[in-house]
Amino acid sequence: MTDLFIWFNRTQGPEGHFQLDDVIFTSSFDSKKPKFVAEQPWKMYDASIHGFPPEDKKRFPSKMYLVSTKNKPSIIKFDFYGMNNLAVLVSSKFLTFLNNKGIDENYYEIAELSIIDLKGNDLTNNEIYYALRFVRFDDQFFDFNMETKKRAAGLKNFFLFPDMKLNTYPENKNIFYINSLCYRNSIIFTKDVVKEVLSNFHLPQVYNVKDFPFVFNNQYKWDILPLNNEYLVTV
């Protein structure tokens, strides 16, 4: 059985990462009303429910904004961050990695992402970022081993799978995205690329999938599971 790993970001992250409570993720930005969030019909679409493609008004925008609401924000640097609504944020470098390892352009809709402060100033030192919304999933490649599933804290009828494994090994594919709610903000990959992930990207928050149920269920309990914890996988 091939070991599987998962990149999962909590609401607070390591140096360079933003805190989820300090940002607005939106499809429009007005420097005169920087905290205003207009209606976003794209959020009403879920490919796993509605099929693909979406109707025009629910298509993923071609431009998205991540706005820091802090008065004196620091430079933001990260490579992968899972948001809600099947959306993830990625650096240009990580997008290339995804495309080369089995998550190609058929898996997602894509938007250019501007990461800015309340005045509209860039916070990335001109690095290139994208927002992706997934429309294709890899659940069919997995045996979730339902006999050992664990309940997700605070989520009725949703579960975590410490003994999940691949039941099929697609050629030239080492990265997977699954539709299960507890895993939607994450990316899963095999041990064949774990060293590449840990070595080439900015402070990745990587766990073994067998440890993920504990991490997920305690993600907000910083006294039990501090940011730097024993479950994080390192080089």
- Which residues of the chain register pLDDT less than 70? 1-2
φ/ψ bin of 211: left (φ > 0), alpha (ψ from -120 to 50), beta (otherwise): alpha
Calculated CA dihedral for residues 168, 1, 88, 178, nearest 10 degrees: 50
pLDDT for 122:
97
Return the SS3 of 41.
helix
Q: pLDDT tens digits for 105-150?
A: 999 999 999 999 999 999 999 999 999 999 999 999 999 999 999 9
| Helix, strand, coil % in the chain, rounded to nearest 5 | 20, 25, 55
Measured CA to CA, the distance from residue 124 to residue 16 in angstroms comes to 10
With a CB cutoff of 8 Å and minimum separation 6, the contacts of 219 are 8, 10, 11, 225
pLDDT for 71:
87
> With b meaning 16 or more CB within 10 Å and e meaning fewer, what string describes 101-110?
bbbeeebbbb
pLDDT for 235:
76
Q: Provide the whole-model pTM.
A: 0.95
pLDDT for 103:
97
